[in-house]
Chain A
Amino acid sequence: MNLASSLYFTGAEVGLSIVGLVLLLVSAWGGPRSARLVTILAVSALVGATLFSGHLFDLAVRETAGRAFGDLYRADTFGSFAKILIYLATIAVLMVTPRFFDQRGAYRPEYPVLMLFNAVGMGMMVSATDLMTLYIGLEMSSLASYVLASFLRNDTRSAEAGLKYFVLGALASGIILYGVSLVYGFTGSTNYEGIRAAFAIEFSTGALFGVVFVLAGLAFKVSAVPFHMWTPDVYEGAPTPVTAFFATAPKVAAMAMLVRMAMEPFAGEVDAWRQIVIFAALASIVVGALGAIGQQNLKRLLAYSSINNVGFILIGLAAATPAGVAGVMTYLAIYVAMTVGSFTALLMLRDPMGQNLETFDDIAGLSTNRPALAWCLLALMFSLAGIPPLFGFWGKFVVFQAAVQADLVALAAIGIAASVIGAFYYIKFVKVMFFDDATREVETESPIGHWIVLGLSVAIISPLGYFLTIPLGEWSAAAAASFAAAM
């Protein structure tokens, strides 16, 4: 285990950190003028990191997972899969961001730099196999996120969102740290394999407390009920591109971290954490669905929608089988496509003056003003609701199938019945766009970059997506195989 191989396996993070630091200098010297250049360089760095993660994924499939820095960090298929999703989501968000801030004259080169550091942190989160690395990655990503949430510093809503996120996020980090210290105290190790070995010998009540605290803190990060309160406020207040980012990349990272946590150090104690996950899953589905019903603000609505989706993802985790983990990964991939698409469509909704629109009243009769955009949103909403033949159905399908195979039939039945509640507000979206009459003028042109991101997302979630089921299934299964030793 020499330094060279360690650096090789952490190549994506190392590369992104260096690019981030260089771009930080560029932005310091170049000022706001360099914003576009920095954005383009950041995107290319992320593309490079994506390709490198793909290479590591391939390597881990053919040979074995690479361990770096004395097993503080592992470059396995699971981590690489999650990282590819994270980087792609970040790229998509960076592509649709500048126009939003340009309209307010607030775009600055720090934005892509913060995104890069965030990506580094998220990469560490999903690859960490030691509680210390995990915590560092988590904080790195979170701190960048707090700043991003309040990036519109003259806007009180944005500042409030950042502060709220920071205070509550710090609390969650504290809870995680407390859990980590308990786990360390009862096992004498911060390494995942060490923890699992120690738990196999004895799993005391104190250690159980540690596990519960860690899971509670992570539930905050994925915004699972009952730790979801911050989500609607932060999503509504943060600038829309930042919201799009929060709903995708950090969510994938936190979810992947949670899955790794549950399936590696805590893999022997499935019975201990399964009931927590089941409760969080069902509560998230129901609260996410009910909370969304009365919302008028579309960003708030999508915040509840993301809580709702987290519930479905947790059903896959509750199965605690390779199929369940594979289902989670498949769901995450589809979820990223759906969410990126929805927020891009939201960013394309502007009035003729260039003001962004974000309430139900604003999109009334959209199908007559912007038919193409309305049809894309229709597909996205039915996909989020999980109605076949749209691809969102497939995500639900794989997690529920995993639950049924793990003999959690009652969980699957209750979960899927509750999904009907969620369908109500998704079809309300469609109703407002298609059945109501137009009440206001909207901007009729959108830049090509937005159309590319939206078009790709919609192509993935359209019935064409079913042609992806075989490769997606193989990749997810390969990712889930990372935990084969633990299960």
Chain B
Amino acid sequence: MEFPILSLMLAVPLVAAIACLFLGAHSARMVALFATLFDLALGVLLWLNFDIGGAQWQFVERAEIFAGFSYALGIDGIALMLIMLSVFLMPICILASWDAITKRVGEYMAAFLLMEVLMIGVFAAQDMFLFYIFFEAGLIPMYLIIGVWGGDNRIYASYKFFLYTLLGSVLMLIAMMWMVNEAGTTDIPTLLNYDFSPQAQTWLWLAFFASFAVKMPMWPVHTWLPDAHVQAPTAGSVILAGVLLKLGGYGFIRFSLPMFPEASAQFAWLVFALSMVAVIYTSLVALVQHDMKKLIAYSSVAHMAIVTAGLFAFNVQGIEGAMMVMLGHGLVSGALFLCVGVIYDRLHTREIDRYGGLSINMPKYALFFLLFTMASIGLPGTSNFVGEFLALAGLYKVSTLVTLVCTTGIILGAAYMLYLYRRVAFGEQRNADAARMPDLNAREWLMLAPIAAATLWMGVYPESFLAPMRQDIAALEVRMARAAPEGDSQLRVGEPMERNANFVAAAHDAEGAH
């Protein structure tokens, strides 16, 4: 029997979470930091031992300790990358809350550690109901994080977050029960290759879509996100944007696309339409925001729309691109929220107008902020460029129009991000208190530098991240091939002309005679 590394990754933060409930502020912080760092080390170990090109499902564990479902864990390359993202962001979240959270620290750290358990569980679950339990359980700690440690309007935001996502998810449970009843197994790898009848697929797809579209979030069910982001404490926003939004995309890749390929093709137009609206609409909304966090929240919706469009392109580039956007966005939007958090901790406001000219008194901060702004726009050399380029290239094979609209969204993205950066970092120092703010301290360096390095790594050498996923995405494409839609480019292979285009009959002779 193999060493149960996935279970260990679940157990470490779980034990630490329980311990934190009983500890004082300082020791709770230390325990949380060590537990998350230990999990990060385990994650690195997981990645190093992941056999690229080996079996599809690795580190498989299975124990029949429950009735009706099993405790089955295992990961493929896609899950591996998302688990890495989670364990990478977690210690940074703990650091971000180091000084900002002063009340009920033990409970706060416990909630975050519990969140980590559940996120790893979602990505590692190989049993449908186990997946659902992890997926849904995340509501509880997040509700508490927003509600107890959030901003002024935190209660409204926490209710909205909880009820919105719960309503989205419950129908998925019924769909899962139907599938299990039909296929006679709860095992995800088996269900991946089970062919449901196309009529049933339509309903099942819609039920899953209701859940994932809310989590993603897609327009028009995105409205919980700006509220939740704005009210959550900095680290809460990082986790929301960094990992929780990825649950929706992961759900599409793991369930909707491979299990219901026909229905996915049938509803691709819907996804495209919603994505197009989202890209343009939320980008325009982001342009007029006065609240930094809200602006970044809307930009998240726009980026996620590119993910959904890329996923439903039904080809390798589209899906690889979507995955890369998810990973890149996880890092970059997380980092942007951290950047907001850094100045929020100093001035306690998120109003853009209250800042200005920060590059004068906080040059190091301005540099990091610039890097992440550029990464968010998708500048070549940063993580998001790779993902967006691949996703749009894949999308172009299917639909010119959708690609055109989504690309416009990227231009708008450049507009709102550069506009934000100009107002915050450049120009005159309009506010005396903002001008007095000190530059980054060592703790903030420790938070931002690793994300910056990862962003550049992903931009310069994306192969490290694509390689583990390649085989799984290829398998996914094969699975969906029978339903893949025709491209709208109407490519025709032309007849070659007899002569070169610059051939001029008369001149040719004359020149020859010369």
Contact = CB atoms under 8 A, between A and B. Distances in A.
B162 A388 contact: no
Interface string A16-28: 0000000000000
A388 B147 contact: no
Nearest to A416: B170
A389 B173 contact: no
- The interface residues of chain A, by DSSP majority, are classed as helix
Interface string B87-121: 00000000000000000100100000000000000
A388 B170 contact: no
B148 A387 contact: no
Interface in A441-487: 466-467, 469-470, 472-474
Nearest to A477: B67
A469 B67 contact: yes
Interface string A367-409: 1100000010000001000011100010001101100110001
A435 B158 contact: yes
A387 B166 contact: yes
Contact of A431 (B67, B104, B155): B155
B181 interface: yes
Interface residues of A, number: 35
Nearest to B110: A375
A469 B163 contact: no
A412 interface: yes
Contact of A427 (B66, B143, B178): B143
Contacts of B167: 417, 420
A209 interface: no
A308 interface: no
B68 A401 contact: yes
B177 A400 contact: yes
A94 interface: no
A24 B65 CA distance: 47
A397 B68 contact: yes
Interface stretch (B134-142, B342-350, B353-361, B371-379): B134-142
B437 interface: no
B457 interface: no
Interface string A408-419: 010011001101
A423 B174 contact: no
Given A388-B137, A412-B177, A431 B65 contact: no
Contacts of A424: 159, 163
Given A388-B137, A424-B163, A416 B174 contact: yes
Contact of A404 (B139, B144, B163, B178): B178
- Residue from the set A367, A398, A466, A474 with the largest chain B CB neighbour count within 10 Å: A466
- The interface residues of chain B, by DSSP majority, are classed as helix
B85 to A, nearest CB: 23
Given A382-B140, A413-B171, A470 B65 contact: yes
B154 A435 contact: yes
B159 A431 contact: yes
Interface in B51-82: 65-68
Contacts of A186: none
A388 B133 contact: yes
B137 A389 contact: yes
A367 B148 CA distance: 11
Contacts of A368: 104
Nearest to B173: A416
Interface residues of B, number: 34
Nearest to B150: A435
A400 B129 CA distance: 13
Interface in B174-194: 174, 177-178, 181
Given A417-B171, A470-B67, A434 B148 contact: yes
A193 to B, nearest CB: 32
Contacts of A434: 144, 147-148
Contacts of B140: 382, 387
Contacts of A397: 68, 129, 173
B196 interface: no
B50 interface: no
A474 B134 CA distance: 25
Contact of B159 (A382, A393, A427, A467): A427
A431 B129 CA distance: 28
A317 interface: no
Interface in A427-442: 427, 430-431, 434-435
Nearest to B133: A388
Nearest to B143: A427
B158 A431 contact: yes
Nearest to A428: B159
Contacts of B133: 388-389, 393
A398 B173 contact: no
Contacts of A427: 143, 159, 162-163
B67 A473 contact: yes
B66 A431 contact: no
B132 interface: yes
B513 to A, nearest CB: 86
A420 B166 contact: yes
A429 to B, nearest CB: 12
A434 B104 CA distance: 11
A221 B181 CA distance: 34
A405 B178 CA distance: 7
Nearest to B69: A469
Contacts of A470: 65-67
B147 A431 contact: yes
B65 A400 contact: no
B178 A387 contact: no
A405 B139 CA distance: 28
Nearest to A372: B21
A431 B146 CA distance: 11
Nearest to B14: A463
B67 A472 contact: yes
B132 A388 contact: yes
B181 A404 contact: yes
Contacts of A474: 67
B231 to A, nearest CB: 11
A368 B181 CA distance: 46
Nearest to A409: B178
A200 B132 CA distance: 43
Contacts of B68: 397-398, 401, 469, 473
- Residue from the set B66, B140, B181 with the largest chain A CB neighbour count within 10 Å: B140
A416 B176 CA distance: 13
Contacts of A387: 136-137, 139-140, 166
Nearest to B71: A466
A368 B148 CA distance: 12
Contacts of B171: 413, 416-417
B273 to A, nearest CB: 25
A423 B163 CA distance: 7
Contacts of A404: 174, 177-178, 181
Given A412-B177, A420-B170, A470-B65, 18 more contacts: A367-B107, A382-B140, A387-B139, A397-B129, A400-B177, A401-B181, A404-B178, A404-B181, A416-B171, A417-B170, A420-B163, A423-B163, A430-B143, A431-B158, A431-B159, A434-B148, A469-B67, A473-B68
Interface of A: 367-368, 375, 382, 387-389, 393, 397-398, 400-401, 404-405, 409, 412-413, 416-417, 419-420, 423-424, 427, 430-431, 434-435, 466-467, 469-470, 472-474
Ranked nearest first, the 8 interchain pairs of A and B with the lowest CB-CB distance are A473-B67, A469-B67, A388-B133, A404-B177, A416-B170, A435-B147, A389-B137, A420-B167
18 contacts: A367-B104, A389-B134, A393-B133, A398-B68, A401-B68, A401-B177, A404-B181, A409-B178, A413-B174, A416-B173, A417-B167, A420-B163, A420-B166, A423-B163, A427-B143, A434-B144, A435-B155, A470-B66
